[in-house]
């Protein structure tokens, strides 16, 4: 099973690296984060912390990752290769995991490319490397969740654009919409809405606060959306 997932991951990773859109997304992501970094973080007398950039990345990725994942499954539907995939000796879960890991590895590469900011910061100050590393761990968990949502959205439609919009909408719902609702609600509702706010949990990582609750949230949510994605794939068989 692991071999099959590994093979699928490699296939998807190669597909992403060979797609022009991934590079466009990557370059745009680096351009925007680069500007934000030089304007907001790398300022004389400013605090030597990556936290503001992490916070910016968290919303930038809401736009960026769905653009990477949008074609993952919808393109299989549109091009008809899903039939081949269904007849191949792999389960739906393996297919979804392969695509997920492929996306995730590309995302890891993208995030690793932002380590140059940390290097630049270290050249002019002494940033807290442990807190920074933990922030990066948060970015990875955040990316995993975004990727799983993106895959789920992609599994719902054969149109890439719709998949991207759908993923962005879901992510926006679980970050900004619930944040707004939590603001206007009180009591238990506020707590519940705050809890399902993705960015609320990510803030702990960007602040350097280790909280098992946040880790469980990201891992379980990622697993849940991947599970939904598998179920959607399965439903294609009997519909």
Partner 1 sequence: MAVKDSNRATNVGSSQRFAIGANVLLSVVLAVGLLIAVNLIASIKSYRSDLASVGNYGLSDRTKNVLGSLEKDVKLSLLYEPDEGDKAQQERIARMLDYCAELSRFSGKVSYQHVTSDRQRESLVAEINKNLSSEADAHKIALEDFERVRGRAEADLVTRYTEAQAILANNESWLGGFPLFTQVSLALDKLKEASQEAAEEIAELTPKTGIPKYGEAVTRAQGTVETLAGGFSQISDLMGRLTQLASETSKPDSEYIALLRGVSTDLRDVINNLRAQVGPAGSDPPSDVKKALKGYADACITTGAALEDLVARVDRFSTAFPIVQEHENWTTQVPSRVFSQDVMMQVEVAGILQDMGRSLSKIRLEVLGVIDSGQKDDLALALTKARRNVDALEGYVQDCTNILAGLADSLSSVDPASGSLLQDSREGGLFGKLVDDLNQVKAKFEDLPELKLADVADQLKDDNAVVIECGDQLRVVGFETIWPARPAIPGLQDDDPAETERTFNGDSALCSNILSITSDKAFANVVLVAYEPAAPQQQSPFSPPPARSSLPLASLSKVTTTLEDANFNVEQWNLAESKDPPEIDNDLDTIHIFLPPAPPQPPNPFNRQQQPSPMFGDAEREIVQKILDDGGRGIFLASWTITNAPFGRGLMASPYGYNPLLESTFNVRIDNGVRVMNVTPDPRTANAFFINALRFSYMPLIGYADHPVTSPMQGTRSLADSAAPVLVLDDSETTTNDDATTQPATSDTTHTTLLEIPDREEYISADIDSFIQIANEVNSSRGDGALNLGRPLQRGPFKLMVACEKPASDDRTTRVIVAGLAACFADQYLNNKVPVSLEQFRSESEPLENLDLLLNSIYWLNDTPELIGRGPVPVPRIERIPTGSRGYIQAFFWAIWPAVVLAPGLFLWFMRRR
Task: Tell me the three state secondary structure of residue 2.
Answer: helix
If the CB atoms of residues 31 and 161 are measured against partner 1, the closer one turns out to be 31
For partner 1, the closer CB: 160 or 206: 206
Instruction: Give least dist CB 152 to partner 1, A.
Output: 12
Q: Taking the chain, what is the end-to-end CA distance rounded to the nearest angstrom?
A: 26
As given in the structure block, the two tokens for residue 230 are 């598998």
**Footprint on this chain of partner 1 (rule: CB under 8 A):** 17-18, 20, 22-24, 26-27, 30-31, 34-35, 37-38, 42-49, 86-92, 113, 116-117, 120-121, 124-128, 130-131, 134, 195, 203, 207-213, 216-217, 220-221, 224, 227-228, 231, 234-235, 237-239
């Amino acid at each position: 099973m692991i071999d099959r997932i590994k093979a699928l991951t490699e296939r998807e990773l190669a597909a992403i690296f060979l797609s022009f859109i991934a590079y466009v997304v990557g370059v745009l992501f680096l351009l925007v984060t680069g500007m934000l970094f030089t304007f907001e973080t790398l300022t004389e007398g400013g605090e030597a912390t990556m936290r503001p950039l992490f916070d910016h990345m968290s919303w930038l990725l809401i736009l960026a990752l769905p653009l990477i994942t949008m074609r993952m499954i919808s393109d299989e539907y549109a091009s008809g290769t899903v039939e081949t995939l269904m007849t191949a000796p792999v389960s739906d879960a393996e297919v979804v995991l392969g695509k997920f890991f492929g996306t995730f590895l590309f995302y890891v590469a993208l995030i690793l490319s932002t380590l140059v900011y940390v290097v630049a910061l270290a050249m002019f100050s002494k940033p807290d490397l442990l807190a920074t590393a933990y922030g990066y761990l948060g970015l990875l968990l955040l990316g995993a969740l975004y990727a799983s949502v993106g895959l789920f959205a992609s599994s719902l439609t054969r149109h890439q654009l719709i998949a991207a919009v759908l993923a962005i909408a879901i992510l926006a719902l679980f970050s900004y919409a619930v944040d707004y609702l939590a603001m206007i609600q009180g009591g238990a509702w506020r707590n519940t809405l705050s809890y399902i706010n993705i960015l609320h949990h990510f803030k702990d990582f960007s602040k350097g606060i280790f909280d098992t609750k946040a880790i469980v949230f990201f891992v379980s949510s990622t697993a849940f959306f991947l599970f939904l994605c598998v179920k959607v794939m399965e439903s294609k068989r009997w519909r």
